[in-house]
Structure 1
Amino acid sequence: MISQLSWKIGGQQGEGVESTDRIFSTALNRLGYYLYGYRHFSSRIKGGHTNNKIRISTKPIRAISDDLDILVAFDQESIDLNARELRSGGVIVADAKFSPTVPEGVKATLFSVPITSIAEELGTSLMKNMVASGASWALLGLPIEVFNKAVQEEFGRKGLAIVEKNIEAVKRGAEFVLELAGGPIEGFKLEPADGKPKMFMIGNDAIGLGSVAAGCRIMSAYPITPATEIMEYLIKRLPKFGGTVIQTEDEIAAITMAIGSSYAGVRTMTASAGPGLSLMMEAIGLAGMTETPVVIVDTQRGGPSTGLPTKQEQSDINALINGTHGEIPKIVLAPSSIEECFYDTIQAFNLAEKYQVPVILVTDLQLSLGKQSCEILDYNKINIDRGYIVKDIPEREDKSMFNRYAVTENGISPRVLPGEKNGIHHVTGVEHDESGRPSESPTNRKKMMDKRLRKLNKLQLNDPIHLQAPHLDPEILIIGMGSTGGTIDEARRRLEEDGVETNHMTVRLLHPFPINEVLPQIEKAKKVLVLENNATGQLANLIKMNVGHHDKIVNVLKYDGNPFLPSEIYSECMKAAHNKSQEELVK
């Protein structure tokens, strides 16, 4: 029996790949396995190759695997594109309809199953995903009853007859492949899972759940990959808590509506990707000037322009920090796990109101859309901090405006919500005095700029970095952000086994940059490898700008639209450790 396995299904977009993956992984989650998924899909509704890969393990995992054990293929293209990932002795379960063949050099066992024919015998070719699922499940030797329960949940709303037909499709797929294979294949039989309940969700869902828990009651947004699922999640849930989601005509309307709602006193947010973030920049400046708290989620994807809208990239870092015109205080947070997507969303709302600034929560496509297991969330950890909101304002004899932008030692002024007696004040996007009245006085300008910019001098944040530092003077310090964290962890374990002393840092606070936490770790290391999914080393440049040590820092960049694999990180670290090129290592 084995403790982990990788399974992938491929086909044309729109022919059931996603639903097959969903039901298959849901059933595995019910058994208590740890799962980590990756979606490769085209930027169109139907057509074009798509595949979903799931890593299944009896232990926690946070990375896709280098290789593949089982490939389920609905067409020959899926075999041609993915078969070389298969380990020696891997299995291909393919639809007999297209007369599948195994590419030369691939050492895998092919099971040609009449997937479409069985589905058509049961009434519709749409059920071929269930036939394929049954075949896969049978090879793993797992209890079919658990899978049938997942089928019932998926199709129960369509009636008993549909459920029974789908269960029959699962049964026939399982029986056919078991007859071909002579029973479950021993090398693919999974060890029992611990059976403990686990949550299984994408990062976008965790952000949506976090926003509800934080007290967000309005989301204004425009659909865009890979952020749309946040809006879809909240459309179903916010109305249950007296909230609403507004689909705006564009991202400019989304951010300005969010700012207006927040000014009115409602916790509010918007979410987008790189192109939408570009459109929001002027309004983010407005939030900074008016000191209006707002939360913006940026789910990074391949750019520029439309770029690679369904592929992995981390190339918005410069824009997040420097994109707004002028100078405003802002906070940029980068969660690195499903759990952090939840807890950091709550923290983002607290920080936005505590410091009266825009807070940008930045993820990447893999973290946003890759479905992963996570531990049950602890709602006792939730704390709501609405900041310096004033009430019961005393009468002023001179009937002057309330000093909403009063100069204070820490830069945070008293915030008053509309309708509060004696709290009337001006709000404008031009420079203003303490009551909000427009002012172009040089003295006032400097005073107000200094006030705003010192807000974050004493920023209090939980865990601005994550650090695994078992070595005092490591040979290599690996730095990453976002979804690279789990992949680096896995590569680091291999490096340690091979005698390379390695520490790992994940940067969670991109702005203001956590110099005091990052600098000591860089000083200790002989070499620093900064991993990121972009072409220009934006995270590495941010580190160099804030802490120096240019001579130690080595860029490890991947910008082909795919996330890092553990083997790639391992290889780059071995090159750095031995001062050798990849060609020399191969020799």
Structure 2
Amino acid sequence: MINQLSWKVGGQQGEGIESTGEIFSMALNRQGYYLYGYRHFSSRIKGGHTNNKIRVSTFETNSISDDLDILVAFDQETIDVNHHELSQGGVVIADSKFGPAVPEGSHATLFSVPFTEIATELGTSLMKNMVAVGASASLLGLKADIFQSVVEHIFAKKGEAVVAKNMKAIQEGMAHFENVATDSIGDYILDEADGMNRMFMIGNDAIALGALAGGARFMPAYPITPASEIMEYLIKKLPEYGGTVIQTEDEIAACTMAIGANYAGVRSLTASAGPGLSLMMEAIGLSGMTETPLVIVDTQRGGPSTGLPTKQEQSDIFAMIYGTHGEIPKVVMAPSSVEEAFYDTVEAFNIAEEYQVPVILMTDLALSLGKQTVNPLDFSKIHINRGKLDNGEVLPELDKGTYFKRYEVTEDGISKRVLPGMKHGLHHVTGVEHNEQGKPSESPENRKAQMDKRMKKLDHLAKKFPNPVLKNEAHDKADMLILGVNSTRGTIEEIIPRLEKDGLKVNHGQLRMLHPFPTEEVQDMINKARKVVVVENNATAQLAQLLKMNTEVSGIESILKYDGNPFLPAEIYHQCKELFAYGNV
């Protein structure tokens, strides 16, 4: 018996690849296994190779596995593209329909199962994915009844007959595989899971749920990969809580609508990817100048321009921090897991309102669309902080001809905020420089006073943000400090024990806030290491450059990947080993 395995299903987009992986993983999740899934797909609606790789284990895991144990193929291309990942003793389960063959030299064992034929005999070829699930279950020694609740969940609306047919397809797939399998295959029987009830969700769903729990009730947005699931989730859920989602004509409208809603007192967010973030830049500046709270989710993908819409990259870092013209206080947060994405979204709204600044919640495609096992969320941790929002207090009467001092210069740089229509709360709002009452002003003295007031907010925020760096420091003097951001966390965590076993002393830090930069916390980690290694998915080492700008660091080695794929553990491991072998560490 084994405590983990890696399973992948592949074929053409539109023939049920995603649902095959979903049904397989949901059933195992409900048994209490830990899972991590990553989907490779093309930027088109139908056609083109797609696959879903799922890691299953009896222990917590947060990264893709290096190799592959089981490959389920709906076409020959799936075998040709993915067979090189198969481990010694790996298994290919393929549809007999296309006459499957493994390339010469492959050490995989091929089992041909008539997915399509069996499904057609049961009523429709569409159920071939269920036959494939059954064949996989047979190989793993699973029982058909663990899929019953999943099939009911997915097909109940279509009636009991449809549920019964899909369960029959699973059973037929299991029975057929048992007939063709031999004793020569490896042992893929999983150890029993703990049976605990855990969530299995993508980062985008965690962000959407966090927005809901954090009090957001309005989302204007324009659909874009890989952010659209946030919008789709809230379209279904917000109306149940008195909220709504509006699909705007573009990202400019989405951002300005969100600013307007927040100005009116309704917590609002918008979400996009790199191209949409580019369009929002002027509006982000408006949020900063008018000191109106704003929450934006940027799900990074391959760029520039349309780039690689469905592929992994972390190349928007500088755009988020420095993209707006002029200088405004803003916050860039970077959760490193699906669970953190939930809690950090709530915190993003609190920060936006408490400091009256735009907050960008930065994710990447692997975190936004990658699916992870998540422990039960603790809603007692949710606290709403609306800052200096005057939500009903009677304001002092204004002198004739004066306005409320919406932008009053204060010690902490934060002024009282009032809702539109409040008696004695009349003030002017404009994107040009203004005085304390909001009236346009080009006075040099006023300009300096207002700039100092706005920028002062960052000084207070940098000291208050909880856990700006997720630290794993086992050594007071490490050979190597590995730093990463977003989805690289799980992959880095996986290779540290391997490096330690090789004799390297390794510390790890995952940056959870990029702006304002947590200089003190990062510098403390740097001081405890001989060398710093920065792992990131871009070509220009943006995170490493950010590190150089904000800390005193003598030597940085960058491990970069920008081919559209997330890091595999072995890639980081071997490059770290090379640095050590050549005396760089």
TM-score range, shorter chain: over 0.9
Equivalents in 2 of 1:370, 1:502: separation in Å? 27
Show the counterpart of 1:37.
37
Q: Which residue does the alignment assign to 2:568?
A: 565
Q: Distance in 2 between matches of 1:185 and 1:347?
A: 50
**For the Cα contact (< 8 Å) 2:265–2:419, is it kept in 1?**
yes
Q: Give the corresponding residue for 1:584.
A: none
Q: Is residue 2:559 matched to residue 1:556?
A: yes
Name the structure 2 match of 1:525.
Answer: 529
**Counterpart for residue 305 of structure 1:** 305
Match of 2:46 in 1: 46
SS at match of 2:558: strand
Q: Which 10-residue stretch deviates more, 279-288 or 143-152?
A: 143-152
Matches within 5 A, 1:174-573: 174-182=174-182, 187-390=187-390, 391-459=393-461, 460-549=464-553, 551-573=554-576
One-letter code aligned to 1:285: G
Asked if structure 1 preserves the Cα contact closer than 8 Å seen for 2:217 and 2:268, the reply is yes
Q: Residue 445 of structure 1 aligns to a residue in which SS?
A: helix
Report the alpha carbon displacement of residue 247 of structure 1 after superposing the two structures with TM. 0.4
- Inter-partner Cα distance in structure 1 for 2:323 and 2:387: 26
Task: Say if 1:268 and 1:352 are closer, same or farther in 2 by CA, change over 3 A.
Answer: same
Aligned-residue sequence identity (percent) comes to 65
Whole-Å separation in 2 of the counterparts to 1:333 and 1:576: 30
Offset of 1:234 from its aligned partner?
A: 0.2
1:59-78 aligned within 5 A:
59-78=59-78
Secondary structure at 1:520's aligned position in 2? Answer: helix
> Matches of 1:45 and 1:258 in 2, distance apart?
29
Q: Secondary structure at the match of 2:418?
A: coil
Q: Secondary structure at the match of 1:146?
A: helix
Cα contact 2:32–2:195 (8 A) shared by 1: yes
**Which is further off, 230-239 or 99-108?**
99-108
Three-state SS of the structure 2 residue aligned to 1:216 is coil
Give the Cα separation in 2 of the matches to 1:251 and 1:429.
Answer: 19
2:466 aligned partner, one-letter code: N
Name the structure 1 match of 2:161: 161
Q: Is the 8 A contact 1:411 1:451 kept in 2?
A: yes
Q: Structure 1 counterpart of 2:570, which letter?
A: S
RMSD, aligned α-carbons: 1.1
Q: By how many angstroms is 1:579 displaced?
A: 1.8
Letter in 1 for 2:336: S
Find the aligned partners of 1:184 and 1:418 in 2 and give their Cα distance: 74
CA deviation vs aligned residue, 1:365-390 (integer Å, no higher than 9, x gap): 00000111010000000111000012
State the shift of 1:430 in Å.
Answer: 0.4
> Which amino acid counterpart does residue 547 of structure 1 have in structure 2?
T
**Residues 88 and 106 in structure 1, CA contact (< 8 A), matched pair in contact too:** no
User: Is the Cα contact below 8 Å between 2:89 and 2:185 reproduced in 1?
Assistant: no
- Secondary structure in 1 aligned to 2:424? coil
1:185 shift after superposition: 5.5
> How far off its partner does 1:183 sit?
7.7
- Further displaced range: 492-501 or 226-235: 492-501
Comparing 40-49 with 137-146, which one deviates more in the overlay?
Answer: 137-146
Question: CA contact under 8 A between 1:140 and 1:185: conserved in structure 2?
Answer: no
Residues 496-517 of structure 1 show CA distances to partners (whole Å, capped at 9, x for unaligned) of 1111110000011000000000
Query: Aligned partners of 1:123, 1:529: CA distance in 2, in Å?
Result: 56
**Partners in 1 of 2:583 and 2:404 — Cα distance?**
66
Q: Structure 1 CA distance, aligned partners of 2:71 and 2:280?
A: 42
Contact kept, 8 Å, 1:139 with 1:183, in 2: the verdict is no
* Deviating 4+ runs (over 3 angstroms): 182-186
C-alpha deviation, 1:400, in angstroms: 1.4
Distance of 1:555 and 1:392 partners within structure 2: 56
Give CA-to-partner distance per residue, 1:125-178, whole Å, 9 cap, x none: 111000001000111011211112211211111111111111111111110111
* Aligned counterparts of 2:318 and 2:583: Cα–Cα separation in 1: 31
Residues of 1 paired with 2:138 and 2:154: CA distance? 20
The CA deviation string for residues 528-555 of structure 1, in whole angstroms up to 9 with x for no partner, is 1100000000000000011132x41001
Q: Secondary structure at the match of 1:205?
A: helix
Structure 1 residue 186, shift from structure 2 partner: 5.8
Does the 8 A contact of 1:317 with 1:538 survive in 2?
A: yes
1:585 aligned partner: none
Q: Shift of the alpha carbon at 1:398?
A: 3.1
Whole-angstrom distance in 2 between the partners of 1:493 and 1:150: 36
Structure 2 contact 89–186 (Cα < 8 Å) conserved: no
Aligned pairs for 1:111-122 (under 5 A) are: 111-122=111-122
Secondary structure in 2 matching 1:9: strand
Q: Quick one: which amino acid aligns to residue 450 of structure 1? A: D
Instruction: Find the counterpart in structure 2 of residue 575 from structure 1.
Output: 578
Q: Report the CA distance between 1:399 and its aligned residue.
A: 4.8
Q: 100-109 or 291-300: which moved more? A: 100-109
Q: What amino acid does structure 1 have at the position aligned with 2:155?
A: F
Q: Aligned letter for 2:330?
A: K
1:344-373 CA distance string (max 9 Å, x none): 000000000000000000000000001110
How many residues are aligned here? Answer: 580
Deviation string for 1:290-314 (max 9, x for gaps)? 0000100000000000000000000
* Equivalent pair of 1:178/1:184 in contact (CA under 8 Å): no
Q: Is the 8 A contact 1:329 1:456 kept in 2?
A: yes
